[in-house]
């Protein structure tokens, strides 16, 4: 199939408002808009001004009433509990309507807020959609998030309800949520009217009289509630960015533009038809979970999978293939770190064998830079297209991609594709001047931003301006650095602060990581810049080896140093390698490079609240000390 990308992107560029007005025809509106785009209050951008709509209706009711009522809407698959559940559009709609009725009976009205503190179970999705049904603004906080961080979000969003689970379940332990939300409420100044507790059999929470009520008792006797009309520009949810300190950065998402953009992506970027099964192997606490576990697949009439497990360890590195085969998944969207873990534990791809992947068409990667070696490993063993794409919490969908639904253009390893309609991507230098082809700089998007992008930060207009628009007036600053080649492919090489300065030479750590990842023994890696008295900074490579590698670490390190020096040049001053058993990551899979850089330089650092395994930092710190002593 010949790619229609250039034609479609050009049609957007000619008339952006007409392009998105046509896309909006895929949404059921209660009242039409009076204005497609209002950017008179830039940088805040509003789409489909004056329109009334309901997100829950478009995600559930129109499918339940339009011939898809008996189709699976949500498949819950939990290897950590050994349980599974399938809900049709009829069943999910009815459960959502009942929970919405209980919220309304208890005083929930349009514009109220609710914090959802629940792991990857159906009630998390039900809570989100029930809030959307009433026009209540939901804010999902990653299950198990630290008490102080939960308290900050409670005080910032001032929720009427806290909807929590008694516990979360990891492969090796049970995480008590009650202890965390009790402590958070002790810390917080604001107190919700009620705490609704989903009691999980693995750990039963003690309910506090006058404040807490079990989910079952709360819903008991509630009448189903109809969808409440809201403005397209009204907030649907608040999602706090990970690692927030000080004043929280609560990304606001609207109702109308959000639906239009996400619905467009399902067919055009991901190539899915209504009725097919889509799996985003992420968590609802992150933006991928909001966009592509809950909203986009359901808006498109697809079946979505809610997976409570890991890519490895539940039960083994074949977990993903089991889910794809069992549920006839057409497309999988996950983070590269998950595939690096699979590749590390099963480098020959033996666990893929024996699984029927005949329904599986495409693998999509995002969330961090996808190194070419990981992409090529997946291509080799899956024999399917592997599509890298790049996006962020703030826009809520991909800035760059390779559009499967429009006919893919050639894959260029190291690039997450080309800009999507709506995004006028520019590379700017420190002085704001636009860079030429293949010249590195800050990756920005010329205003106005397309539908679904954040119109503001919750209660923080000054922070909205300062965080994203002060550095380059008229442009959204992504915080990423890279370049656009002569063919229009975008290369995202690092965060802006991951460019290191070695004796006056600005070098990308991402380029060095790309070289290291090509070594046959390397499962995953990170490169950071550490302080050096002579050169200012020098690169330090931190690598995790594949399972079963028993060669000398010194021998492997020597080979890695040679590879970087031969491919990037002596100017990189690349001499140091540390081999570790795991890299420190957030729960969403992002490698904590800045934290490693701080303790490599002997600076004080605060352990990130989003870290997946705090013990990894201790082990890496010890590895740093051994490496320093050896030098």
The pLDDT mean for the chain works out to: 92
- Tell me the domain boundaries of the chain: 5-309+389-482, 503-630
Neighbours of 7 (CB within 10 A): 10
- Bridge partner list, 500: 507
Q: Taking the CA atoms of 370, 373, 374 and 379 in sequence, report the sign of the dihedral they define.
A: positive
> How would residue 243 be classed by pLDDT, with cut points 50, 70 and 90?
very low
Q: Are 76 and 311 in contact (CB under 8 A)?
A: no
Across the beta sheet with 362-365, the strand order is: 83-88, 72-78, 303-307, 277-280, 329-334, 362-365, 386-388
Higher pLDDT, 494 or 242: 494
For 52-82, b/e burial (b = at least 16 CB within 10 A) is bbbbbbbbbbbbbeeebbebbbbbbbbbbee
Comparing C-alpha atoms, which of 498, 469, 464, 459 is closest to residue 481?
498
Mean pLDDT of 117-143: 97
So what's the pLDDT on residue 588?
65
Which DSSP symbol is given to 235? E
- 3-class DSSP state of 229: coil
**Whose structure tokens read 């080309």?**
418
Q: Report the percent of the chain where pLDDT is more than 90.
A: 76
- Helices 147-157 and 177-187, packing angle to 10 deg: 50
So what's the pLDDT on residue 505?
59
Q: How far apart are CA 164 and CA 147, in angstroms?
A: 13
Answer whether residue 570 shows pLDDT above 80: no
Helix or strand holding residue 146 (H, E)? none
- 3-class DSSP state of 390: strand
Q: Taking the CA atoms of 438, 439, 442 and 446 in sequence, report the sign of the dihedral they define.
A: negative
Kindly report which listed range (15-19, 141-145, 335-339, 609-613) carries the lowest average pLDDT score: 609-613
So what's the pLDDT on residue 369?
77
Q: Are 11 and 411 in contact (CB under 8 A)?
A: no
Which DSSP symbol is given to 589? S
Residue 580, CA distances (Å) to 236, 370, 543, 577, 624 in order: 42, 20, 6, 10, 10
So what's the pLDDT on residue 625?
76
Residue 222, CA distances (Å) to 102, 105, 106 in order: 5, 7, 10
So what's the pLDDT on residue 503?
59
So what's the pLDDT on residue 604?
77
Q: How far apart are CA 446 and CA 12, in angstroms?
A: 14
Highest-confidence segment of 406-410, 512-516, 571-575, 587-591:
406-410
pLDDT tens, residue by residue, 61-110: 999 999 999 999 999 999 999 999 999 999 999 999 999 999 999 999 99
Give the distance from CA 628 to its chain's centroid. 36
* Phi–psi pair at 601, nearest 5 degrees: -90, 0
Domains 5-309+389-482 and 503-630 in one fold: no
pLDDT tens, residue by residue, 24-55: 999 999 999 999 999 999 999 999 999 999 99
Mean pLDDT of 424-435: 95
> How would residue 400 be classed by pLDDT, with cut points 50, 70 and 90?
very high
Residue 446, CA distances (Å) to 2, 82, 488 in order: 29, 48, 16
Answer whether residue 404 shows pLDDT above 60: yes
For 450-474, b/e burial (b = at least 16 CB within 10 A) is bbbbbbbbbebeebbeebbbebbee
Comparing C-alpha atoms, which of 439, 443, 385, 449 is closest to residue 418?
443
> How would residue 631 be classed by pLDDT, with cut points 50, 70 and 90?
low
pLDDT tens, residue by residue, 267-300: 999 999 999 999 999 999 989 999 999 999 999 9
Q: Are 491 and 414 in contact (CB under 8 A)?
A: yes
> How would residue 531 be classed by pLDDT, with cut points 50, 70 and 90?
confident
Q: Are 510 and 541 in contact (CB under 8 A)?
A: no
Q: Are 47 and 254 in contact (CB under 8 A)?
A: yes
- 3-class DSSP state of 44: coil
pLDDT tens, residue by residue, 183-241: 999 999 999 999 999 999 999 999 999 999 999 999 999 999 999 999 999 999 999 98
Comparing C-alpha atoms, which of 403, 456, 398 is closest to residue 423?
398
pLDDT tens, residue by residue, 438-477: 999 999 999 999 999 999 999 999 999 999 999 999 999 9
So what's the pLDDT on residue 370?
85
Q: How far apart are CA 161 and CA 140, in angstroms?
A: 12
CATH assignment of 503-630, among 3.90.550.10, 3.20.20.80, 3.90.1150.10, 3.30.300.30: 3.30.300.30
Q: How far apart are CA 275 and CA 298, in angstroms?
A: 10
Count, residues in the chain: 631
Q: What's the pTM?
A: 0.85
Mean pLDDT of 311-338: 95
Comparing C-alpha atoms, which of 483, 296, 474 is closest to residue 398?
296
Comparing C-alpha atoms, which of 612, 623, 631 is closest to residue 542?
623
Answer whether residue 599 shows pLDDT above 90: no
So what's the pLDDT on residue 487?
96
Mean pLDDT of 595-608: 78
pLDDT tens, residue by residue, 347-358: 999 999 999 999
Q: How far apart are CA 587 and CA 145, in angstroms?
A: 10
For 336-366, b/e burial (b = at least 16 CB within 10 A) is bbbbbbbbbbbbebebbeebeeeebbbbbbb
Q: Evaluate whether the domain defined by 5-309+389-482 bears CATH number 3.40.50.12780.
A: yes
**Helix count and strand count (H, E) for the chain:** 20, 32
Kindly report which listed range (146-155, 285-294, 421-430, 568-577) carries the lowest average pLDDT score: 568-577
**Whose structure tokens read 């050639």?**
410
pLDDT tens, residue by residue, 467-518: 999 999 999 999 999 999 999 999 998 777 676 767 555 577 877 888 899 8
Mean pLDDT of 242-270: 86
> How would residue 244 be classed by pLDDT, with cut points 50, 70 and 90?
very low
Mean pLDDT of 259-271: 98
């Amino acid at each position: 199939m010949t790619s229609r990308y250039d034609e479609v992107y050009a049609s957007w560029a000619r008339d952006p408002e007409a392009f998105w007005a046509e896309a909006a025809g895929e949404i059921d509106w209660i009242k039409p808009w009076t204005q497609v785009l209002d950017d008179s209050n830039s940088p805040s951008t509003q789409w489909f001004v004056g329109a009334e709509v309901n997100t829950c209706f478009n995600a559930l009711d129109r499918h339940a009433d339009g011939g898809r009522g008996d189709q699976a809407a949500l498949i819950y698959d939990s290897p950590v509990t050994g349980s599974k559940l399938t809900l049709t559009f009829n069943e999910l709609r009815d459960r959502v309507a009942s929970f919405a009725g209980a919220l309304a009976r208890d005083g929930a009205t349009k514009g109220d807020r609710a914090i959802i503190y629940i792991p990857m179970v159906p009630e998390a999705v039900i809570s989100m959609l029930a809030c959307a049904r009433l026009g209540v603004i939901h804010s999902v906080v990653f299950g198990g998030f630290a008490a102080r961080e939960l308290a900050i979000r409670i005080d910032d969003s001032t929720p009427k309800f806290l909807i929590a689970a008694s516990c979360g379940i990891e492969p090796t332990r049970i995480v008590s949520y009650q202890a965390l939300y009790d402590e958070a409420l002790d810390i917080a100044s604001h107190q919700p009217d009620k705490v609704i507790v989903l009691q999980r059999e693995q750990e039963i929470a003690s309910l506090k009289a006058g404040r807490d009520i079990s989910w079952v008792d709360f819903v008991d006797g509630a009448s189903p509630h109809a969808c409440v009309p809201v403005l397209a520009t009204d907030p649907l949810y608040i999602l706090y960015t990970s690692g927030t300190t000080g004043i929280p950065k609560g990304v606001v998402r609207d109702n109308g533009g959000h639906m239009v953009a996400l619905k467009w992506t399902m067919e055009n970027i991901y190539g899915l038809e209504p009725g097919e099964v889509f799996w985003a192997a992420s968590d609802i606490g992150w933006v991928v979970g909001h966009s592509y576990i809950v909203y986009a697949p359901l808006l498109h009439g697809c079946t979505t999978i809610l997976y409570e497990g890991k890519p490895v360890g539940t039960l083994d590195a074949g977990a993903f293939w089991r889910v794809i085969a069992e549920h006839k998944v057409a497309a999988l969207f996950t983070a590269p770190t998950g595939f690096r873990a699979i590749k590390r534990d099963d480098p020959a791809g033996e666990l893929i064998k024996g699984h029927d992947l005949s329904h599986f068409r495409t693998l999509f990667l995002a969330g961090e830079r996808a190194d070419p070696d990981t992409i090529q490993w997946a291509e080799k063993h899956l024999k399917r297209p592997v599509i890298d794409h790049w996006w962020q919490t703030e826009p809520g969908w991909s800035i760059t991609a390779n559009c499967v639904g429009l006919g893919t253009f050639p894959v260029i390893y190291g690039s997450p594709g080309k800009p999507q309609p709506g995004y006028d991507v520019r590379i700017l230098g420190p002085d704001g001047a636009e860079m030429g082809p293949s010249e590195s700089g800050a990756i920005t998007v010329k205003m106005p931003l397309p539908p679904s992008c954040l119109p503001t930060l919750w209660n923080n207009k000054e922070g909205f301006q300062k965080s994203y628009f002060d550095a380059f007036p008229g442009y959204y600053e992504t915080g990423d650095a890279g370049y656009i080649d002569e063919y229009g492919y975008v290369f995202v090489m690092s965060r802006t602060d991951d460019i290191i300065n070695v004796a006056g030479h600005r070098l990308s750590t991402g380029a060095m990581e790309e070289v290291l990842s090509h070594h046959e023994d390397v499962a995953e890696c990170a490169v950071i810049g550490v302080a050096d008295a002579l050169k200012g900074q020098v690169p330090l490579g931190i690598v995790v080896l594949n399972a079963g590698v028993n060669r000398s670490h010194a021998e492997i390190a020597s080979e890695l140093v040679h590879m970087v020096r031969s491919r990037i040049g002596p100017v990189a001053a690349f001499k140091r390698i540390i081999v570790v058993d795991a890299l420190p990551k957030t729960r969403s899979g992002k490698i904590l490079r800045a934290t490693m850089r701080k303790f490599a330089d002997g600076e004080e650092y605060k352990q990130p609240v989003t870290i997946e395994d705090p013990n990894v930092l201790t082990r890496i710190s010890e590895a740093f000390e051994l490496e320093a002593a050896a030098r």
